[in-house]
Amino acid sequence: MRIFPPTPFNSMSSPSGDLLSKPFLGEPHVISDSHAQQSAVSLFEVWNASRQTAVTGEEGKDANHYHLQPGSPRKCNLLNISLAITILQQTFLDMLLLLWGLNPVRTTVLIFLTLVRGVLPAFRGYSQALILDELQVVVTSGDYASARLGRLVRLILRECCRMLAESLFDTFANHNENIVHSSMRFYVEQRQLEQRLRLDVPTLSDLTVRDVLHESDLFVRSFTGLGFGFGLFSPLDLVRALSSVAELVSQLIILYSASRVSSSAFFTGFFAGPSDNHSVTHLPLLGAVLLPSLLSFIASFLPRLPFSYTNCSTGDALYSSAEAREAERAERMRSMAHAEPFRAEIALFGLAPWILDSWSVARKRILGLEVQQGDLYSGITLGAGLRWLLTQANVSEMLVLLQNLPFFIYSSTTSLGSLALYRNSVHSLLFNVRSLICSFERAFQSIFYMGAFFAAMTIEPRLNPEPGRAVKYESTGKGMKIEARHISYTYPGSTKPTLKDVSFTVEAGETLVVVGYNGSGKTTLSNVLLRIFDFDAPSPDTSAQLLINNIDIRRIAPADYHRHVTALFQVFSKLNTTVRENVGIGELRSQFRDHPIREAAARAGAGRLINSLPRGLDTNLDCVGLGMNAINPNPFMGGNSDSGRQGLSGGEWQRVAISRAFMRAQSADLLLLDEPTSHLDAHAQNNVFETIESICRDPVTGKRTKTVIIITHQLSIAKRADKIAMFENGTITEFGTHEELMSRADSHYASLYRATV
């Protein structure tokens, strides 16, 4: 049995690969109604158009456009309906085929069983009505003859068998549904995760991309298996809606016939046609039964009052923009209260009241316990009031009285069983109509989230080379030659560049030390050199270029480039896992081999540390982001022993991180270390530098085989480098050897050196 399809990590292929492999069509922009109808428009643009809202300016002339918060419901207006149809045209069939393709047999069985499940209540009602009828005859006639009683017992036994069969059916159907559901959920989650991991930092820093991923995530999370995961609607819920439709139709049939014939003949009565004396009144009576639901359905198109909730059977509300903002704030505050790394700052700065206040204001507004005056008044409209009357004020419920009319009309002419059957059917009918209305509301919003899911899959990482221009990185075995020409870099959302016209050359095998003042742009430069960020496009005045071994870095795929580089980041990750994993992730191929991990750790001066840990490489490290030996995360547990977790000091963590960087040092052409020794004592600092020197030389010939770039504030290290770059205000102001820079009369490097050494 195949439950999960094979999906290779870097492949975007799918059972219906076309849609998921469409390229991302550049920057999203505003589109018009008619535009959205054209099939050439990308899904991304259609999705983006659905979240644009026009707000009229103060004078009533200018219409400002802004984007809805991710997760906010779309209004049910003509534009959104047409956008929803466009999304459905482009995705729905693909989605169904894709999900059906995961488990064709089980999914077909699921659809069939769900339809059958829909008509089971009708049979249940019929069977129980027969028992009631028989009981009525026995009691009213006083005929307790064994034949009569025997028939009653047979009916009861038949009902017991039916109930047993129904529960067996339910068990099998639920089991099948669980398997189908789990495989669908696994699949969409995997696709979402795979795409997130594919995307690079420049792509992820785009706000629109973040929003589309957020809504895509909502779609993925709607595959909960409960049918009302996030107040959303997954394709599997569509199958459930089929069941509601089947139940609705069967109950309608019952209602139509049960009121005029005895329950034992209601099917034949229905098919006999409207020939008897009650037939004329059936349709208006059905109308009376359905009137409350019809009004609720109409109300679902009206706007909602601010901070009022839909009364869907699931109890879930769809967030308005204001609610989504509050929900995000409440969630942020909740996470802060739960996160261990914040604990020290919360205590030190006395943040508890601020966190609690911010959370409670946001949460109260979400729960409708507190509504701001402005929001309340601006949201009260005639439509919203009418909706409230029809849904929240239960006006429609009063009309339920009408449903009892048939009781009075037919009570003297029909059997007890028929009346019970009628009553059950009315309840069941209303429940199903209501759940279908709620499903409709959720389905409408879900279309946009489904659009977001597919749109997210079309995003291509921005750092990937243009098709046809890509070249493979060729290692020379002598290190990496780096030539930066007029490089600038501006952070997204910032108006001023952080790096300005940076130019320098490092020959293969050389060591460059970058020094400078805080905030001058050293780490930013390292991210550009590591191809985490892309430098600004060349302007008419400058021809910005970054050449690696004389090749434009934009022509090399980042994944290919990264295989030849190793780095220590200034802010490195500390994983709540074993030492082995913390170090081993530096070179995944060697993750499970002790020797390379121990060797890298020994070079980074972490050998003694690992030997001193209770379980060596298998010791679990605890990283709540603070100096661990000093602050135990849970003083009542005695963390280090009972929990089997070990805290480390800042310097010890740094050694672990250096070990991680050294894991790949053998195969790398470039070692880039940002503040590698900031937490280390003087001896350790010297050792690390010696180790870097030895790693970079061929053990036989002694020649340099790697290029090294070190960013540091420790100028004693700089002295030993081949070249030094002094960074100030986002650019290199001095470049040369230690001696050259020291000999300059007005050298800032020289004054910094004298101040620190």
Ligand X SMILES: Nc1ncnc2c1ncn2[C@@H]1O[C@H](COP(=O)(O)OP(=O)(O)OP(=O)(O)O)[C@@H](O)[C@H]1O
At a CB cut-off of 8 Å and minimum separation 6, what does 145 contact? none
Question: Using alpha carbons only, what angle is made at residue 186 by residues 183 and 192, rounded to the nearest 5 degrees?
Answer: 140
Q: Considering beta carbons, is residue 419 or 658 the nearer one to ligand X? A: 658
Q: Considering beta carbons, is residue 516 or 605 the nearer one to ligand X? A: 516
Stretch that binds ligand X, among 108-116, 225-233, 317-325, 491-499 (CB under 6 A): 491-499
CA distance 452 to 615: 46
No. of H helices and E strands in the chain?
A: 31, 14
| 91 belongs to the binding site for ligand X (CB under 6 A) | no
Q: Considering beta carbons, is residue 639 or 730 the nearer one to ligand X? A: 730
* Nearest distance in Å: CB 521, ligand X: 4
From candidates 358, 360, 523, 686, binder to ligand X by CB under 6 A: 523
| Closest-CA residue to 623 (of 604, 659, 648) | 648
Q: Considering beta carbons, is residue 216 or 526 the nearer one to ligand X? A: 526
CA distance 188 to 195: 11
8 Å CB contact between 648 and 577: no
Q: Considering beta carbons, is residue 330 or 726 the nearer one to ligand X? A: 726
Q: Considering beta carbons, is residue 412 or 495 the nearer one to ligand X? A: 495
| Closest-CA residue to 418 (of 406, 403, 427, 430) | 406
* Nearest distance in Å: CB 751, ligand X: 17
* Nearest distance in Å: CB 511, ligand X: 19
| Closest-CA residue to 747 (of 505, 737, 729, 524) | 737
**Token pair listed for 669:** 């052409």
CA distance 180 to 701: 62
| Closest-CA residue to 372 (of 310, 311, 322) | 322
Q: Considering beta carbons, is residue 125 or 516 the nearer one to ligand X? A: 516
At a CB cut-off of 8 Å and minimum separation 6, what does 130 contact? 155, 263, 264, 417
8 Å CB contact between 657 and 568: yes
Give the footprint of ligand X on residues 299-328 (CB under 6 A).
none
| 524 belongs to the binding site for ligand X (CB under 6 A) | yes
* Nearest distance in Å: CB 554, ligand X: 21
Give the footprint of ligand X on residues 12-51 (CB under 6 A).
none
Q: Considering beta carbons, is residue 393 or 757 the nearer one to ligand X? A: 757
Using alpha carbons, list the distances in angstroms from residue 648 to 341, 612, 625: 14, 12, 10
**Token pair listed for 259:** 């009121």
8 Å CB contact between 125 and 254: yes
**Token pair listed for 249:** 């139709």
* Nearest distance in Å: CB 658, ligand X: 17
From candidates 491, 608, 634, 682, binder to ligand X by CB under 6 A: 491
* Nearest distance in Å: CB 685, ligand X: 17
At a CB cut-off of 8 Å and minimum separation 6, what does 508 contact? 476, 478, 479, 480, 481, 549, 669, 704, 707
Q: Considering beta carbons, is residue 257 or 520 the nearer one to ligand X? A: 520
Q: Considering beta carbons, is residue 489 or 561 the nearer one to ligand X? A: 489
Give the footprint of ligand X on residues 183-222 (CB under 6 A).
none
Alpha helices, H only, 530-606:
558-562, 579-584, 594-603
* Nearest distance in Å: CB 390, ligand X: 49
* Nearest distance in Å: CB 482, ligand X: 18
| Closest-CA residue to 438 (of 614, 314, 582) | 314
* Nearest distance in Å: CB 637, ligand X: 35
Binding track over 567-596 against ligand X, x by CB under 6 A = ---x--------------------------
Give the footprint of ligand X on residues 492-521 (CB under 6 A).
494, 498, 516, 518-521
* Nearest distance in Å: CB 535, ligand X: 13
* Nearest distance in Å: CB 732, ligand X: 12
Q: Considering beta carbons, is residue 70 or 497 the nearer one to ligand X? A: 497
From candidates 522, 564, 580, 738, binder to ligand X by CB under 6 A: 522
Query: How many chain residues are in contact with ligand X, going by CB under 6 A?
Result: 12
Stretch that binds ligand X, among 233-241, 287-295, 428-436, 522-530 (CB under 6 A): 522-530
8 Å CB contact between 104 and 5: no
* Nearest distance in Å: CB 730, ligand X: 7
Q: Considering beta carbons, is residue 209 or 420 the nearer one to ligand X? A: 209
> Residue 356 is inside which H or E element, if any?
helix 352-366
Q: Considering beta carbons, is residue 494 or 550 the nearer one to ligand X? A: 494
* Nearest distance in Å: CB 724, ligand X: 15
| 274 belongs to the binding site for ligand X (CB under 6 A) | no
CA distance 78 to 34: 12
Q: Considering beta carbons, is residue 140 or 494 the nearer one to ligand X? A: 494
Give the footprint of ligand X on residues 433-452 (CB under 6 A).
none
8 Å CB contact between 488 and 501: yes
Counting beta carbons within 10 angstroms of the beta carbon of residue 466, is it exposed (0 to 12), middle (13 to 18) or buried (19 or more)? exposed
Amino acid in the structure at residue 680: L
Q: Considering beta carbons, is residue 511 or 524 the nearer one to ligand X? A: 524
CA distance 301 to 468: 50
Task: Extract the runs of DSSP E, i.e. beta strands, from 579-706.
Answer: 620-622, 645-647, 670-674
* Nearest distance in Å: CB 674, ligand X: 7
Question: Using alpha carbons only, what angle is made at residue 241 by residues 238 and 242, rounded to the nearest 5 degrees?
Answer: 95
**Token pair listed for 720:** 């030993």
* Nearest distance in Å: CB 501, ligand X: 15
**By three-state DSSP, how is residue 64 classified?**
strand
**Site residues (vs ligand X, CB under 6 A):** 491, 494, 498, 516, 518-524, 570
